[in-house]
A and B are shown apart, each in its own frame.
Chain A
């Protein structure tokens, strides 16, 4: 299997105001002095691979850089550093504004969190699905209508609903429109940003099963972003756990959730409510997350909230180490290994 998407040493930084008044900054700029802007390290030196036909989950709390990462991968924003390869094509060389008209645009498509807000309210369901086909496939007339109707029925959207506007559709139907719009141009990689977060459980099940079926039928790869771990566990082959811009753990979904090695993943798994379990006695994170603005490169990002961390964590940033099929960025990952894997050599 060849890698479909190869992300290497990818970073995205956002400049933020340094706190000094705008007048001071203006003076600095006028005198030609170096203007030092602080940076938010939204995504910091992230590398991973998505194989063809694979479903990869991306989990982490809000503000950890999930959305920035997927928006950069789908080329809605530009990267600060690093490379993103789709097959042979290097994507970071093309600015986001030009990529919108690129033929490879069709190969990565995205399903947004709330279809009610991401679909143009003045477009009917038909127009919403037809829009990418018109722009990227240059379809029109009969061919366009046929294609729209094909994907609509693939997504289980009744054809009589195609003339409706988003506000006339239910949450589940809107989600179907969002998915139909994304798969209309037959992408290789579908990025799903919390596609079921706004839905009730009964509808969520249907949408998840639809996604599962579409993947089998169309042979797409998925990058599935979610903070609902029980959903990720059901749908994904492999999972990436992010914390403050870094990938802290990756590996097969079942292994990661059954035996989390990174303390953050452990806290994440412990926080998921389960039937018939008393919630009060489990692992809790205390303290505030570290600031993502100009973080100290030698301090673990999780230090301060970490139940395991000690002074070692403030002198060296833990790098991702390989343990069999998994990678973990923690100095103490060895301690959490199940006995059978304890002797796996760090790579």
Chain B
């Protein structure tokens, strides 16, 4: 996040995205008025608990929502194209070439009956303007660039013959094959070991820097997000509750949910008693009487003003908080003091 980035047009800007799922037991309002943007070459993180709408946001942007899901309003601008209202043929051109995604579980996302080299070559041929004959060779090069040893032999392997970390590297190679301008990484390291996680995250960061690629990194691990991204977007129950530069977010979390999330992360405490649980649970998103702030029923800082519609994000605001009674200054919030110490 630098001043230079702010002057250029964003790589992707999501505005007022609302998504609903029709289920047998009612309509689930999974996303409500989600807005954020990512500048060219910038890495941002979407953070939240499971069920907060992180993945749905990514799926909606990629146009791969479940058929039960429907985008009810909003825009997602990639260059001049609105991804949410583009024709399938337009989307098919953009996906893979301009915007690529890494999925959480590489084993289920890769084609199990196709050698991994062929899967990379497929992308190169379709989106990378690579002649069919040269594609296998370039696929091997891609495998080498993501740090797979003996790539020529590995290119002929099937996903089941590789470890989880290697499969994830293959996924990254596929996603980056056509040199996209935006990468969405949906929990790319969940289920991997910490040592492998560190290497995979280095790899994504390095390649992103080299190619000047914008990255949206989806995770539930606040510490990992803090380490790897310039800006963090915190989500709760389908709302963006806070959107701030990483440093700022950890030292001065303004939304009570962000502060509680930080206080619940094991890294911020020296003993178990210092960790604070977040009371309550996500509200049932099928309810028709959801309060404007979906956190208000769990919130320790609830005031009368919380019954009004949430504050809207101002364009160009550096630190957005969807709260009428935000915490100001680290001193007033004991929960916010812990990460400040560990950061020092």
A residues in contact (CB < 8 Å) with B: 61-63, 170-171, 200-206, 208-209, 212, 227-231, 233-235, 267-268, 270-280, 282, 284-285, 287-288
Q: State whether the Cβ of B146 lies closer than 8 Å to any Cβ in chain A.
A: no
CB pair A268–B264 under 8 Å, yes or no, is no
CB pair A205–B276 under 8 Å, yes or no, is yes
Q: State whether the Cβ of B220 lies closer than 8 Å to any Cβ in chain A.
A: yes
- Cα distance A287–B148 in the bound complex, in angstroms: 9
Given contacts A212-B272, A279-B202, whether A230 and B266 have CB atoms under 8 Å apart is yes
B residues within 8 A CB of A228?
194, 266
Q: What are 12 A-B pairs at a CB distance below 8 A?
A: A200-B49, A202-B278, A234-B275, A272-B267, A273-B198, A274-B223, A275-B222, A275-B250, A275-B262, A275-B342, A276-B339, A284-B199
- Cα distance A23–B262 in the bound complex, in angstroms: 60
CB pair A276–B342 under 8 Å, yes or no, is yes
B residues within 8 A CB of A270?
198
Given contacts A200-B50, A205-B275, A235-B272, whether A272 and B194 have CB atoms under 8 Å apart is yes
Q: Mark B323-344, 1 if CB is under 8 A from A, else 0.
A: 0000000000000000100111
By beta carbon, the residue of chain A nearest B201 is A279
Q: State whether the Cβ of B73 lies closer than 8 Å to any Cβ in chain A.
A: no
CB pair A234–B266 under 8 Å, yes or no, is yes
By beta carbon, the residue of chain A nearest B262 is A275
- Cα distance A116–B329 in the bound complex, in angstroms: 41
Given contacts A276-B339, A276-B343, whether A285 and B195 have CB atoms under 8 Å apart is yes
Q: How far is the CB of B16 from chain A (nearest CB, A)?
A: 27
CB pair B339–A202 under 8 Å, yes or no, is no
Specify which of A230, A268, A280 is in contact with B267 (CB 8 Å cutoff). Answer: A230
Main secondary structure of the interface of B (DSSP, over half): helix
Q: How far is the CB of B182 from chain A (nearest CB, A)?
A: 21
Specify which of A201, A234, A235 is in contact with B49 (CB 8 Å cutoff). Answer: A201
Q: How far is the CB of B169 from chain A (nearest CB, A)?
A: 12
B residues within 8 A CB of A284?
198-199, 202
- Cα distance A269–B343 in the bound complex, in angstroms: 17
Q: How far is the CB of A293 from chain B (nearest CB, A)?
A: 14
Q: How far is the CB of B11 from chain A (nearest CB, A)?
A: 22
Given contacts A227-B193, A272-B194, A275-B342, whether A234 and B223 have CB atoms under 8 Å apart is no
CB pair A61–B195 under 8 Å, yes or no, is yes
**Further pairs besides A227-B194, A272-B267: 18, Cβ < 8 Å:** A61-B193, A63-B163, A170-B281, A201-B49, A202-B261, A209-B277, A273-B197, A273-B198, A273-B224, A273-B227, A274-B227, A275-B250, A275-B265, A275-B339, A276-B344, A280-B202, A282-B198, A284-B198
Q: State whether the Cβ of B20 lies closer than 8 Å to any Cβ in chain A.
A: no
Most chain B CB within a 10 A radius of its CB, from A206, A234, A288: A234
Q: How far is the CB of B147 from chain A (nearest CB, A)?
A: 8
Q: State whether the Cβ of B164 lies closer than 8 Å to any Cβ in chain A.
A: yes
B residues within 8 A CB of A277?
227, 343
- Cα distance A62–B189 in the bound complex, in angstroms: 13
Q: Mark B254-286, 1 if CB is under 8 A from A, else 0.
A: 000000111011111101110111100100000
- Cα distance A63–B165 in the bound complex, in angstroms: 12
CB pair A202–B227 under 8 Å, yes or no, is no
Given contacts A200-B220, A230-B267, A285-B199, whether A278 and B193 have CB atoms under 8 Å apart is no
CB pair A268–B228 under 8 Å, yes or no, is no
Q: Mark B127-169, 1 if CB is under 8 A from A, else 0.
A: 0000000000000000000000100000000000001100000
Given contacts A277-B227, A284-B202, whether A201 and B265 have CB atoms under 8 Å apart is yes
By beta carbon, the residue of chain B nearest A171 is B50
CB pair A62–B194 under 8 Å, yes or no, is no
Specify which of A200, A205, A278 is in contact with B227 (CB 8 Å cutoff). Answer: A278
B residues within 8 A CB of A276?
226, 247, 250, 339, 342-344
B residues within 8 A CB of A209?
272-273, 275, 277
